[in-house]
Amino acid sequence: MFQWKKTIYKTVCLSFLLVITVTVLQRGMAPNQFMQGQQQKELPPSDPLKSQKRDNTFSISNTFWKTKKEKAPVKEESVTAEQTKSWDVTTTNCSANQNFSKVDWFKGLEPNFQQFLLYRHCRYFPMLINHPEKCSGDVYLLIVVKSIITQHDRREAIRRTWGQEKEVEGKRIRTLFLLGTASKEEERANHQKLLDYENHIYGDILQWDFLDSFFNLTLKEVHFLKWVDIYCDNVHFIFKGDDDVFVSPSNILEFLEDKKEGEDLFVGDVLHRARPIRKKENKYYIPSALYNKNIYPPYAGGGGFIMDGALAKRLHKASETLELYPIDDVFLGMCLEPLKVLPVGHEGFKSFGKKKTRTAR
Ligand SMILES: *[C@@H]1O[C@H](CO)[C@@H](O)[C@H](O)[C@H]1NC(C)=O
Ligand SMILES: *[C@@H]1O[C@H](CO)[C@@H](O)[C@H](O)[C@H]1NC(C)=O
Ligand SMILES: *[C@@H]1O[C@H](CO)[C@@H](O)[C@H](O)[C@H]1NC(C)=O
């Protein structure tokens, strides 16, 4: 009886995933559209790797689960001999900033902002999973997708649809997922093991040793920029987005055809003169102690944007001159400002379907 229920449950989970994928595929896209946001759908919790039928079977499975024990948690994979630069952060040794304990305005802040400020100076964390080889050689379009450890099914759908790695008329497309660590204690052990396995199969995960929380999204942003600066000397363009959007790489390629590199391309769904939200119940609430201006610099919000590779490197350098800001999209806008680069709005980015109640990703 129990076995029966399990089978039905698995089938339901799988068909649910397929329906979403097929719907997304069938909806299609107008030629001038790059990206479409999606309503957040709560998928039933599934046992990620087991509940899916795969096209291929992977013979490594048995040994994989056993041999890992002795290995150190930090691993750098496939670092080639000619790689001169590499991720240089190997320890997490960052204590709370005691300076705040003396200031009055700090005491009046909400606990989550206090937590944010206490550790804001902790800029970089070690890498748990790295793939320097993804950026070796000429990469025309690097697709990077923010994801969290439990969203295995979304990554799976992306790999099978718009995130497929391929070469179009000599232009190489590569895909990577950006992750931190599980934010819930009970998820940590099991999901990490599954993620290691997923990475073992697909080799497309970058993971850093910081908690995947809403306020740590900006950490993900700066870690990625640093990573690009270290490893990606020959990446022409980058699409960076969430794992709940649908993207048309062929439309992006067409759009990029007449773009020259190094012309500081930054395109997305751009917000001009947006105001910081001062209502405490709002997810994007920002106390004026943290940001006292009335208007944000222009920034690309809502799910994804395209930039050229050289600009990403300059953004990394600009980011290091600024203090981290809890909203990642806005933070990137703040980095563009000193570079005097204006993000350009393009109607190919449709993020209207996307609810503004995102979780960390
Ligand atoms: C961490 O930093 C503190 C203070 O800077 C230092 O005393 C300590 O030795 C460091 N620990 C490690 C493991 O590096
Ligand atoms: C705390 O204040 C001192 C003195 O102003 C400064 O040197 C130090 O960098 C501050 N600590 C942090 C973590 O920002
Ligand atoms: C961000 O990640 C670090 C490292 O895991 C953690 O100590 C910190 O509490 C996180 N910050 C927030 C605001 O969640």
Work out the widest C-alpha separation in the chain, in whole angstroms: 65
Taking 60 as the threshold, does the pLDDT of residue 342 lie above it?
yes
Same-domain check for residues 7 and 132: no
Total domains in the chain come to 2
Instruction: Note whether 149 and 179 are within 8 A (CB).
Output: yes
Round the average pLDDT of the chain to a whole number and report it: 82
pLDDT of residue 108: 87
| Residue 256 included in any domain | yes
| Range with lowest mean pLDDT among 9-13, 40-44, 143-147 | 40-44
Which residues line the pocket of ligand 3, CB cutoff 6 A? Answer: 115-116, 119, 210-211, 213, 215-216
Same-domain check for residues 138 and 19: no
First to last CA, the chain: 37
Same-domain check for residues 11 and 125: no
| Residue 79 included in any domain | no
Ligand number, closest to the Cα atom of 91: 1
**Does the CB atom of residue 101 touch ligand 2 within 6 A?**
no
Question: Percent of the chain scored above 90 by pLDDT?
Answer: 58
Inter-axis angle of helices 328-339 and 309-319, to 10 degrees? Answer: 100
Same-domain check for residues 291 and 280: yes
Ligand number, closest to the Cα atom of 90: 1
Same-domain check for residues 12 and 36: no
Quick: pLDDT tens for 157-173: 999 999 999 999 999 99
Please give the Cα distance from 208 to 215 (Å, whole number).
15
| Residue 90 included in any domain | no
Question: Percent of the chain scored above 70 by pLDDT?
Answer: 75
pLDDT of residue 348: 85
Ligand 3 centre from 139 Cα, in Å? 32
Same-domain check for residues 161 and 299: yes
Same-domain check for residues 186 and 302: yes
Please give the Cα distance from 210 to 183 (Å, whole number).
9
Identify the bridge partners of residue 303 per DSSP, sorted by sequence position. Answer: none
Q: Ligand 1, atom 11: nearest CA belongs to which residue?
A: 93
Q: Which domain holds residue 223?
A: 31-41+118-350
| Residue 358 included in any domain | no
| Range with lowest mean pLDDT among 223-227, 285-289, 352-356 | 352-356
Same-domain check for residues 131 and 272: yes
**Does the CB atom of residue 99 touch ligand 2 within 6 A?**
yes
Q: Which residues contact 150 (CB under 8 A, 6 or more apart)?
A: 48, 182, 187, 191
pLDDT of residue 71: 47
- Closest ligand 2 atom number to CA of residue 97: 13
Please give the Cα distance from 113 to 106 (Å, whole number).
9
pLDDT of residue 326: 94
Residue identified by tokens 């691993």 is: 75
Quick: pLDDT tens for 13-46: 444 444 344 344 444 567 677 777 754 444 444 4
Taking 70 as the threshold, does the pLDDT of residue 341 lie above it?
yes
Ligand 1 centre from 122 Cα, in Å? 14
Backbone dihedral angles phi then psi of residue 170, each to the nearest 5 degrees: 80, 0
Same-domain check for residues 15 and 155: no
DSSP state of 297: P
Same-domain check for residues 19 and 148: no
Please give the Cα distance from 282 to 285 (Å, whole number).
5
pTM (predicted TM-score): 0.80
| Residue 99 included in any domain | no
Please give the Cα distance from 230 to 85 (Å, whole number).
6
Quick: pLDDT tens for 250-275: 999 999 999 987 789 999 999 999 99
| Residue 21 included in any domain | yes
Hey, what amino acid is at 132? P
Instruction: Note whether 116 and 327 are within 8 A (CB).
Output: no
Q: How far is CA 288 from CA 81, 96, 108, 141, in A?
A: 49, 22, 12, 39
Please give the Cα distance from 294 to 282 (Å, whole number).
17
Which residues line the pocket of ligand 1, CB cutoff 6 A? Answer: 91, 93
| Residue 334 included in any domain | yes
pLDDT of residue 82: 54
Quick: pLDDT tens for 44-80: 444 444 444 444 444 555 566 665 444 444 444 454 4
Same-domain check for residues 231 and 241: yes
| Residue 53 included in any domain | no
Ligand 2 centre from 99 Cα, in Å? 6
Query: Count of CB atoms within 10 A of residue 25's CB?
Result: 13
Length of the chain (residues): 361
Taking 80 as the threshold, does the pLDDT of residue 183 lie above it?
yes
pLDDT of residue 185: 84
Q: What is the dihedral of CA 274, 277, 281, 282, to 10 degrees?
A: 20
Residue 232's Cβ-side half-sphere holds a number of Cα atoms within 13 Å equal to 30
Domain CATH for 179 = 3.90.550
Quick: pLDDT tens for 200-233: 999 999 999 999 999 999 999 999 999 999 999 9
Ligand 3 centre from 213 Cα, in Å? 7
